[in-house]
Structure 1
Amino acid sequence: MTRNTAIALSTLAALTIVSVLTGVASLSADNLWLLYLSRLPRTAATILAGAGLAVAGVIMQMLARNRFVEPSTAGTGESAALGLVAITILAPGLPIWILMGAATTSALVGTAIFLQIVRRLPRQDPLMVPLSGIVFGGIIGAFTTFIAYERDLLQYIGIWMGGEFSGVILGRYEYLWIGGAMAIIAYFYADRFTIAGMGDSASHSLGLNYRQVMRLGLALVSVISAITVVTVGMIPFVGLVVPNIVARIYGENLRRTLPVVAIFGACLVLFCDIVARLIRYPFEIPVGTVLGVLGAILFLYLLHTKARARA
């Protein structure tokens, strides 16, 4: 274990303790049930969502061959929300696993369309890819909002796209463990995603089935994004800034960096969730709002600074 990895794990452990101890109700002997019912599930959900979105972001960047994309800038989250709205209108009252299936399917389709758009963009201008993704996601989001407005479902859209953990209790977050399992699967295929990030021709020359890896990556990104949207809402910037920061410190070897990406993603979301609970204590604001501000600052920093050459 490297020194940086040990520091990251120590930071995650410290933030986990702070998260468990942070809240309006005191953890007296009479209120210890809060740990089991609310505090521990919320902390676990925060860690799983942050780690999963960070891993989904780095996979997305490999598939698009662009460092400035993630599920929230590629229309993946908006596509998942469109699937949720559609299934809610067509068959209300379905169990949550069916909602997740619909969201995953629509996220998969939306992400595949985005990657097809990326293939037609000029490679010499890397910012064209995230800008196109934002426009693409905006179109889907506007269409989803229009349908929700017509069917009086705007409140649901706000919940799915807001990104917050205040409603997480025992029994309402466990599907996020599926996202954690997807991140573990991604680790076993990390070498293949690294090769796929070199492009179609390089992948074939190295004996890799490029289309098969693309389909696997799309499935992993779609499942993680859909589960996150359905459970806690869409959380921005995690999959964008975390992989870029880790790449600057550790390099591009996905096999070596993917666990660190997951740890950094969990740390970032945990930190922002703690800030969201404390900044207007005893009230709290959505963690997506905090991440929107902090993530934008980090993104601008990454845009305006050059990565140092690694030895």
Structure 2
Amino acid sequence: MKKRYLIIMLIGLSLVSIFLGAKNINIMNILSRDREAIHLMVVSRLPRLISILMAGSAMSICGLIMQQISQNKFVSPTTGATIDSAQLGIVIAMVLIPGATTMQKAMVSFVFALGGTFIFMTFLRNLKVKSVIFVPLVGIMFGNIIGSITTYIGYEFEIMQNVGSWMQGNFSMILKGNYELLYLAIPLMILAFVFAHKFTVAGMGEDFATNLGLDYKKIVNLGLVIVSIVTVCVVITAGEIPYIGLIVPNIVSLYKGDNVHENIWDTALFGAIFVLVCDIAARVIIYPYELSVGLTVGVIGSVIFLYLILRRKSYAS
């Protein structure tokens, strides 16, 4: 699929998104300078759209990076315990720093996200059986252990209601003034584009990359830092959005191959489109109310994930 088609789809779906909601507004309201419509657009609809696009594209790129440095197509922030570790960090920040600011939560969460991802990568290096399916199962089990700890702490300190808000992605509460943390993802995404070639080389293995003169450990650590910070920004802003970093890079690789430099743009665009479609579906299914986008992404993503596993097994056999 050519980039221009993805861009056209993105623009069209973005227009649908900003005019869709319980309060009906249209282009004529904006052109006629309807103050209420413009206020709603600036305060709610545009911040929501920006958050969706940034979360979808950033998490997709994170998945692409993790799959390259782990040399496994089914590793992502969802199956590599990054999201679960970020959530645990948020809860720890809430317990240790009552009234913690968003930035304080983000800093503690980043430490836990990075630590959890490093532990998973250590597991990965020491696994004797590195099956393409077995590795993400280990990550999911590790993530479930971390998630259980998070839930226990939430109940123990009576903050489960707040913990629950990070358990499922939701863009309905995004307003001007509470989504700007996502802007931190922009320089990190630029960094990912700059180092795309090196991530591709790192994906060929440590020995091969070292022979080509690449500082393998430095590139891997850079990738994990990018993934951890972006994941924290998305989780704090919109909650957990599963499967994006897992399925989008796999779908793009079906028609673009595995060269990060070649498919990173398509991955970012397709990821934004995918989350946008799921968010629109979440708003349309029970209109004028809406489902959690984490629910729609989870349902659609799990079906695609199952298809990818079966497809991989059929090729292997």
TM-score scaled by length of structure 1: 0.96
Q: Does 1:90 align with 2:96?
A: yes
Cα deviation, residue 142, structure 1: 0.2
Cα deviation, residue 31, structure 1: 2.5
Question: Following superposition of structure 1 onto structure 2, how do residues 61-72 of structure 1 map, counting pairs within 5 Å?
Answer: 61-72=67-78
What's the counterpart of residue 9 of structure 2? 11
What's the counterpart of residue 276 of structure 1? 282
What's the counterpart of residue 216 of structure 1? 222
What's the counterpart of residue 112 of structure 1? 118
Structure 1: gaps of 5 or more residues? none
Question: Following superposition of structure 1 onto structure 2, how do residues 217-232 of structure 1 map, counting pairs within 5 Å?
Answer: 217-232=223-238
Q: Does 1:127 align with 2:154?
A: no
What's the counterpart of residue 186 of structure 1? 192
Aligned residues: 307
Cα deviation, residue 124, structure 1: 5.2
- Please identify, of 225-234 and 118-127, the stretch whose mean Cα deviation from structure 2 is larger: 118-127
Q: Deviations over 1:2-36 (max 9, x none)?
A: x6111111111111101001101022434321111
Percent identity of equivalent pairs: 40
Cα deviation, residue 175, structure 1: 1.1
Superposed CA RMSD in Å reads 1.6
Question: Following superposition of structure 1 onto structure 2, how do residues 165-204 of structure 1 map, counting pairs within 5 Å?
Answer: 165-204=171-210
> SS of the residue aligned with 1:111?
helix
What's the counterpart of residue 33 of structure 1? 39
Cα deviation, residue 122, structure 1: 3.6
Structure 2: gaps of 5 or more residues? none
Contact 2:124-2:130 at 8 Å conserved across structures: no
Cα deviation, residue 123, structure 1: 5.2
Distance (whole Å) between structure 2 residues aligned to residue 213 and residue 115 of structure 1:
14
Cα deviation, residue 304, structure 1: 2.5
Contact 2:56-2:272 at 8 Å conserved across structures: yes
Q: Does 1:245 align with 2:251?
A: yes
| 2:280 aligned partner, one-letter code | I
| 1:200 aligned partner, one-letter code | E
Q: Deviations over 1:129-180 (max 9, x none)?
A: 1000000000000011101110011112211121110000111111111113
| 2:2 aligned partner, one-letter code | N
Cα deviation, residue 306, structure 1: 5.8
Distance (whole Å) between structure 2 residues aligned to residue 254 and residue 190 of structure 1:
5
| 2:188 aligned partner, one-letter code | M
Question: Following superposition of structure 1 onto structure 2, how do residues 155-174 of structure 1 map, counting pairs within 5 Å?
Answer: 155-174=161-180
Instruction: Rate the CA distance shift 1:219–1:124 in 2: closer, same or farther, 3 A.
Output: closer
State the 4+ residue runs in structure 1 displaced beyond 4 angstroms.
Answer: none
Contact 2:133-2:309 at 8 Å conserved across structures: no
Contact 1:79-1:137 at 8 Å conserved across structures: yes
Cα deviation, residue 252, structure 1: 1.1
| 1:79 aligned partner, one-letter code | S
Match 1:255 to one of 261, 267, 270: 261
| 1:25 aligned partner, one-letter code | K
Distance (whole Å) between structure 2 residues aligned to residue 272 and residue 217 of structure 1:
27
Distance (whole Å) between structure 2 residues aligned to residue 65 and residue 277 of structure 1:
37
Q: Deviations over 1:48-89 (max 9, x none)?
A: 000010000011111211000110111111111111111111
Contact 1:276-1:290 at 8 Å conserved across structures: yes
